[in-house]
Amino acid sequence: MDQLLMNDLLTKEASDLMLPTMFAPFYAVSADIAGIGYSIFFYEENMAPLEEHVKLLAVDGLMPQASSIQNQAYPYTTEVYAVTRGDQPKDSLAYRLRAWLRSPHGQELIEKSGYVKR
């Protein structure tokens, strides 16, 4: 693929931008002194290695943290659902997993794992 000129600078090859895992974008951005990226809060807080030069950014004066995500004050949040088909047998693995996630034990584990719940 040909590289393009932008403001007299060559753009990166598209293959340089294709990263195979969730860790790869984090490492690519964190290794670049001028790098900026977007990740989910859970990933940055719980799965990515802590590195001094990686900083979270406030949006409209609000930092991404559990409380601002939980009350939806932080503007970049999303709901995550566990759903099953209505005709799913009650003894199916999908139905049983959904039921367990909604149970007190499942809710406790979701909270302990670092996901933010409302």
Task: List pLDDT tens digits, range 14-39.
Answer: 565 565 666 677 777 777 777 777 77
**Stretch 88-97: mean pLDDT, rounded?**
93
Report the chain's mean pLDDT, rounded to a whole number: 78
Cα–Cα dist 32/17, whole Å: 13
Number of domains the chain is built from: 2
For residues 54 and 25, membership in a common domain is answered with yes
Above 60 in pLDDT, residue 4? Answer: no
Residue 58's Cβ-count burial label (10 Å; 0-12, 13-18, 19+) is exposed
For residues 50 and 87, membership in a common domain is answered with no
Q: Dihedral sign, CA of 53, 38, 66, 111?
A: negative
For residues 11 and 35, membership in a common domain is answered with yes
Q: Of 42, 60, 76, which residue constitutes the final position of a domain? A: 76
Domain with 37, as residue range(s), is 1-76
For residues 44 and 101, membership in a common domain is answered with no
Per the DSSP assignment, residues forming a β-bridge with 59 are 62
For residues 72 and 84, membership in a common domain is answered with no
Query: Would you give the distance in Å from CA 30 to the centre of its chain?
Result: 16
Above 50 in pLDDT, residue 1? Answer: no
**Stretch 39-66: mean pLDDT, rounded?**
77
For residues 58 and 114, membership in a common domain is answered with no
pLDDT of residue 49: 59
For residues 71 and 85, membership in a common domain is answered with no
pLDDT in tens, 61-70: 999 888 888 8
